[in-house]
Structure 1
């Protein structure tokens, strides 16, 4: 089945160049050139992934993402101005799966898209991991907390999956990047830190009141054993 990508960017020339590139790679592509149109298109069940520019008229990309995350876990890759750490951090806090700085290399963006789509499509297995009051189904990629589903982005799920697979052991940040984001970390990249922060907020403390995910300074993180 063909994957449909929504490219939301008010730079019509760039959007059209990306459309031609991704169509040549076998994707179906939709375009939106302002935030309101992007939100309307993204809420369609026919869109599988969104490439979302931060700076757009009508409604900026961060506001689009905020509205989208109220009821959809659709994979989103943000396009941010190179060196604009604030937009990148805000995007990750709001639930973006990854980000690419502009101007971007279409092949790098393609690699990010394929990595995000692999995560969102699931592992194909059906094993279930349990820790404390959490039950993580690796096949359906559904997380239950005390029997209630917790909405996670595909990247948040993959970060938690990796930590639970190595419960009680320290997982380095590099290993989390490779396992959960499908790429090597780059200098000053705090993507994994932001995804862990989102997980802590969504999951809350363990039943004993302690942090589920511990920071191991200078190394990485571990899901602790109660």
Structure 2
């Protein structure tokens, strides 16, 4: 049983979600301030976040959460504009559903996020198929073969493996790993991604591990 937080200002939807998500433990927050307070004082396995909140918006909540936590966040939104969706994913949302949503689809997406979050579990070792990354020893192997990665390439791969379902914009990757504004750094990141892809392909040319999502960014396949 997981510990979930639902930040939603509509009481009827809160009741629906609590029923749908049983037997998981569901904490309710009716606005962004209450949601952020709950996150500060509890350890949640997943957050379901409505964008259209009174006071502190869902976008602001997501931005604040991502400053100190990588808890999976599924966004509920009435917005279907592609650019807005891109901004959500770039800001750190793991997934989204547009309202009105299908409850079975929501349950399925919650299950995926909980499974992925549990699989990375905060441990030193990350696994995706035959790809293994050990954060403690700074070692990477693919199908048992070692891959030598410099610090930045290792950090990029670790970031993608920690969130295998999330699409990251190049800007978000660069600013997290290099800890400086993106500005004109696209070529720098592209070079590192190219080297990383080449090394992975050299060990297993049959599988593509890092894929581009057109118009959004990259993710781990």
Q: What TM-score, normalized by structure 2, do the two folds share?
A: 0.64
**Structure-1 separation of matches of 2:27 and 2:191:** 45
**Structure-2 separation of matches of 1:74 and 1:222:** 17
Q: Which runs of 5+ in 1 are unaligned?
A: 139-143, 160-179, 182-191
- Deviation of residue 16 (structure 1)? 1.1
| Cα distance, 1:211–1:31 mapped onto 2, change above 3 Å | same
User: Which residue is 1:176 aligned to?
Assistant: none
User: Which residue is 2:151 aligned to?
Assistant: 146
Determine if the alignment matches structure 1 residue 6 to structure 2 residue 5.
yes
Which range moved further: 87-96 or 63-72?
87-96
- Deviation of residue 84 (structure 1)? 3.2
User: Which residue is 2:181 aligned to?
Assistant: none
| Cα distance, 1:126–1:43 mapped onto 2, change above 3 Å | same
Determine if the alignment matches structure 1 residue 202 to structure 2 residue 176.
yes
Corresponding residue SS for 2:33: helix
User: Which residue is 1:174 aligned to?
Assistant: none
Q: Deviations over 1:42-77 (max 9, x none)?
A: 233332110001110110001001011111111101
User: Which residue is 1:92 aligned to?
Assistant: 89
Determine if the alignment matches structure 1 residue 31 to structure 2 residue 6.
no
Q: Deviations over 1:113-150 (max 9, x none)?
A: 111111111268766448xxx75699xxxxx9739x96
2:46 to 35, 49, 57: 49
The answer (yes or no) to whether the contact 1:8–1:34 under 8 Å persists in 2 is yes
Corresponding residue SS for 1:74: coil
Q: What TM-score, normalized by structure 1, do the two folds share?
A: 0.63
Which range moved further: 201-210 or 12-21?
201-210
| Larger Rg, first or second structure (1 or 2) | 2
1:113 to 89, 100, 110: 110
User: Which residue is 2:207 aligned to?
Assistant: none
The answer (yes or no) to whether the contact 1:35–1:57 under 8 Å persists in 2 is yes
Q: Which runs of 5+ in 2 are unaligned?
A: 143-148, 179-185, 198-210
| Cα distance, 1:145–1:46 mapped onto 2, change above 3 Å | farther
- How does 1:141-180 map onto structure 2 within 5 Å? 146=151, 156-157=160-161, 180=164
- Deviation of residue 40 (structure 1)? 1.1
The answer (yes or no) to whether the contact 1:53–1:80 under 8 Å persists in 2 is yes
Count of residue pairs brought into register by the alignment = 178
